């Protein structure tokens, strides 16, 4: 079984901009899909507790009136993802006016070691 490549994100978004943020993701999904992404899941924080050592809130320096968004994008492999990111950073994608504070976005890329499905 071939496993995919995953990009994960934690994003602080103002509560008042929830729909604007959702529309932003919906707008850009076709670009990523057309560049090889196989899936995108974007989740609005619902039960995001404060921890004693660390937590999602601290990771993004969450402020009053904001919610943590947890998202991940799947790719068939790292090479496909790298080509898409190269196109994005070469200006193929206009990233101006993001509906969140990109300086507090937390992201990383991951190689799955187990995938379970029902």
Q: Report if residue 90 sits inside a domain.
A: yes
Residue 117 within a domain: no
pTM of the model: 0.89
Rounded to the nearest 10 degrees, how much is the dihedral formed by the CA atoms of 52, 56, 61, 66?
-120
Tell me how far apart the alpha carbons of residues 6 and 110 are, in angstroms, rounded to a whole number: 5
In terms of DSSP H, where are the helices of 2-96? 18-34, 56-59, 78-87
Q: pLDDT tens for the chain, 118 residues: list them.
A: 567 999 999 999 999 999 999 999 999 999 999 999 999 999 999 999 999 999 999 999 999 999 999 999 999 999 999 999 999 888 756 656 789 988 999 999 999 998 888 8
- How many independent structural domains does the chain possess? 1
State the CATH number of the domain containing residue 43. Answer: 3.30.70.100
21 CB burial (10 A radius; 0-12, 13-18, 19+):
buried
Range of the domain at 63: 5-110
């Amino acid at each position: 079984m071939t496993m995919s490549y995953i990009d994960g994100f934690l994003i602080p978004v103002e509560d008042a901009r929830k729909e604007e943020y959702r529309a932003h993701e919906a707008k850009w999904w076709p670009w990523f899909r057309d560049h090889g992404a196989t899936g995108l899941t974007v989740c609005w924080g619902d039960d995001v507790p404060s921890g004693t050592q660390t937590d999602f809130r601290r990771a993004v320096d969450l402020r009053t009136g904001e919610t943590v968004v947890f998202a991940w994008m799947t790719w068939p492999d790292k090479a496909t993802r790298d080509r898409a990111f190269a196109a994005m950073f070469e200006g193929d994608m206009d990233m101006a006016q993001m509906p969140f504070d990109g300086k507090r976005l937390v992201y990383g890329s991951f190689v799955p070691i187990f995938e379970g499905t029902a």
